[in-house]
Structure 1
Amino acid sequence: MENIGIVINSQSKNAASLSGYLTAFTERNISYTIYKPSPDELNDSIKKARNRHSILLVGGGDGTIRAAAQECICSPVILGVLPLGTMNHFAKELNLPQTPDEIIKAIENKKTVQIDTAEVNGSVFVNNSSIGFYPSFAKKLDYYKKFYNKWLCYIPSLWHALKKHKAFSLTLQNRKLSRSIDTSFLMISNNLYTYEFPFSVKRINFSNAQLGIYYYKYGKMQLLQFIHYFFNKKESFEILSSKLPMEIHIHNHSQITLSLDGETMVKNTPLLYKSIPNSLTLITNNP
């Protein structure tokens, strides 16, 4: 078997669990080359590994997977996910290998699946992208994680986001839709989440070439409203879908902070979201 590239985010909290995979690979005579970049070097290391290996395994959270997808879409590279991150929603939803034995069997039996990705202004994501409340929450979460355990950071991050987030005047537009809204929460997903959103984050189909569109209907959220509306989600959120690219105009903003798979970045407006069908090949448990 050819040499496999393994890229591990050096800041992944569970990076130490990589040793179990390496031991299993050695026992099965699977050769590999390891890359352990810092978060700032992650994309460059993935590019380097992509050019050297036809099978690339990445370990970390959803943000690391997003970086790998950014560099590997629309290429012959087969991507495998080592579930070393704290919240690998993506790996669980797609029934990707979760143990060393499972991933070795999948590699040996050449079990792969092609899925869609999505893109906003040139940046790829595999889960979702948000405007408003969530980017504010994610920025504070990143700050508090420097000092505390991730799970302890959720309460102060949520409190700060509820106090400081803004409502935006937006226009959603494509050939079949034109809608102006005032909202503090807009999310675009790669294919459609189940109706239990926002409590369920499960997607059944990753190859429908579809954008899911979700927004909060009542402007800016306060704490009591947040609790009430999230427990009455059918009244609080509008849920749409589109197979067409979606342009989003943010009134009076030339730039906006948004989240991509949990990471924040600044983009110029307007935002253009689109699905990229069958653009990523993954190692899977499925036959």
Structure 2
Amino acid sequence: MPPSDALFIVFNRASGHGNRDELAPAAEAACEAAGRPCRLFPVEHPAELATIAADAVRQAREAGGIVVAAGGDGTINGVAQAVLGSGCRFGVLPRGTFNYFARTHGIPADLDGALRVLLTEQAVPVQVGLLNGRVFLVNASLGLYPQLLEDREAWKSQFGRSRLVALGAGIATLLRGHRSLRLTVELPGESREVRTPTLFVGNNALQMEQVGLPEARAIDAGRLAGVVLKPVGRWDLLRLLARGAFGQLGDADQVQNFAFHRLTVKARTFGARRLKVATDGEVLWMPLPLRFEVAPHPLLLIRPPGLAQERREAQAAAASEAAA
């Protein structure tokens, strides 16, 4: 069937701030005004997301329509997992706290602006990362970073969802201490043994730019960005956190960063069969070895053309810092 303008919107009622029920009527009103058919797929519980997203993709394929994810980075990840390889176009209505995927592609955080992009712009191919076949759009990691995410969610359940709460949770985690991982990291034609508190793989150029890591350009060129921390104490970790907040992490001696298309990670701990990992904020256990790679097929994302304004500002700030 030839492509249509129908929208199939999967939305997480638990995502975002303010009125959780505003998305459905706003989306229906915007689509009606634009003469665009739409169907809504509400997700009440996280366990339902994969099944509901698969149903939305099936219906969109039959109609030649567009699958839309409305929620935070975790919800967007779950819908993207279902969309990848389907041939469907993909849209985003960001409703989370950080919204890195939407921001790096210039999709506004406000609902009206995001709907306007969805209803007026064209699909552009964008890169997807895979960890053992699981999609990540922003980042994937193991070691300390998944623990930071688990602690952040515990703080959010107690104190609410905000960037300040996330920062406080991160500081508390670092002060509590950590254990280093002993890993074998394999790149094509190269193998190295590392001891590190965390291994982080980025697929979001804006996030890399904001903390001051040069691999943002590598992501633009179709690769993933690897970051490994040398073993350090808790106070050094806090200093690294501060450097990242000021966009200076790339200058730190304790940080090793590199770009790649494919990376395999094995544990050097005897008997280890799996490791705790995080993909776009979702924490889970995954069997070893871990294989990070660029997906062979992109997502066809509805987004404004060109470099996002926030990325232009980040690059200008980095250039100004380098010239100073």
Correspondent of 2:102 among 91, 101, 104? 91
Correspondent of 1:242 among 248, 255, 260? 260
Structure 2 gaps, min length 5: 307-324
Q: Once the 2 structures are TM-superposed, how far is the Cα of residue 207 of structure 1 from its aligned partner?
A: 5.5
Query: How far apart, in 1, do the equivalents of 2:41 and 2:207 lie?
Result: 36
Matched, 1:45 2:67: no
CA contact (8 A) 2:141 2:278 kept: yes
Q: Once the 2 structures are TM-superposed, how far is the Cα of residue 27 of structure 1 from its aligned partner?
A: 2.1
Q: Once the 2 structures are TM-superposed, how far is the Cα of residue 52 of structure 1 from its aligned partner?
A: 0.4
Q: Kindly provide the CA deviation profile for residues 53-107 of structure 1, in whole angstroms up to 9, marking residues without a partner as x.
A: 1201111111111111111112211110002112111111111355566556555
What are the equivalent positions in structure 2 for 1:45-64 lying under 5 Å apart? Answer: 45-53=52-60, 54-64=65-75
**TM-score, reference length from structure 2:** 0.78
- 2:302 aligned residue: 283
What are the equivalent positions in structure 2 for 1:1-287 lying under 5 Å apart? Answer: 2-14=5-17, 15-18=20-23, 19-37=25-43, 38-53=45-60, 54-96=65-107, 98=109, 106=117, 109=120, 111-151=122-162, 152=165, 154-190=167-203, 196=209, 198=211, 203=216, 208-217=221-230, 219-222=231-234, 224-230=235-241, 231=243, 233=249, 234=251, 235-243=253-261, 245-252=262-269, 253-286=272-305
Assess, with a 3 A threshold, how the Cα gap between structure 1 residues 33 and 281 changes in structure 2: closer, same or farther.
same
Assess, with a 3 A threshold, how the Cα gap between structure 1 residues 12 and 105 changes in structure 2: closer, same or farther.
closer
Which of the pair is proportionally richer in strand? 1
Q: How many residues align?
A: 284
CA contact (8 A) 2:208 2:214 kept: no
Assess, with a 3 A threshold, how the Cα gap between structure 1 residues 228 and 109 changes in structure 2: closer, same or farther.
closer
Moved over 6 A (4+): none
CA contact (8 A) 1:191 1:209 kept: no
Aligned residue type for 1:8: F
Which of the pair is proportionally richer in helix? 2
Aligned residue type for 2:92: V
Q: Kindly provide the CA deviation profile for residues 94-123 of structure 1, in whole angstroms up to 9, marking residues without a partner as x.
A: 113555665565555551100111111121
Assess, with a 3 A threshold, how the Cα gap between structure 1 residues 263 and 128 changes in structure 2: closer, same or farther.
same
Query: How far apart, in 1, do the equivalents of 2:236 and 2:305 lie?
Result: 42
Query: How far apart, in 2, do the equivalents of 1:239 and 1:257 lie?
Result: 21
- 2:318 aligned residue: none
Assess, with a 3 A threshold, how the Cα gap between structure 1 residues 190 and 33 changes in structure 2: closer, same or farther.
same
Assess, with a 3 A threshold, how the Cα gap between structure 1 residues 99 and 204 changes in structure 2: closer, same or farther.
farther
Query: How far apart, in 2, do the equivalents of 1:40 and 1:81 lie?
Result: 20
Query: How far apart, in 2, do the equivalents of 1:193 and 1:214 lie?
Result: 15
Assess, with a 3 A threshold, how the Cα gap between structure 1 residues 197 and 250 changes in structure 2: closer, same or farther.
farther
Assess, with a 3 A threshold, how the Cα gap between structure 1 residues 154 and 99 changes in structure 2: closer, same or farther.
closer
Assess, with a 3 A threshold, how the Cα gap between structure 1 residues 58 and 105 changes in structure 2: closer, same or farther.
same
Aligned residue type for 1:11: A
Give SS of 2:106's match. coil
CA contact (8 A) 1:193 1:204 kept: no
Assess, with a 3 A threshold, how the Cα gap between structure 1 residues 100 and 202 changes in structure 2: closer, same or farther.
farther
Query: How far apart, in 2, do the equivalents of 1:229 and 1:247 lie?
Result: 26
Higher relative contact order (CA 8 A, sep 6+): 1
Answer with 162-171 or 112-121: which moved more.
162-171
Query: How far apart, in 2, do the equivalents of 1:88 and 1:183 lie?
Result: 28
Aligned residue type for 2:229: Y
* Identity score, percent: 23
Aligned residue type for 2:183: L
Structure 1 gaps, min length 5: none
Query: How far apart, in 2, do the equivalents of 1:84 and 1:183 lie?
Result: 34
Assess, with a 3 A threshold, how the Cα gap between structure 1 residues 23 and 181 changes in structure 2: closer, same or farther.
same
Q: Once the 2 structures are TM-superposed, how far is the Cα of residue 125 of structure 1 from its aligned partner?
A: 0.6
Aligned residue type for 2:275: I
CA contact (8 A) 2:97 2:161 kept: no
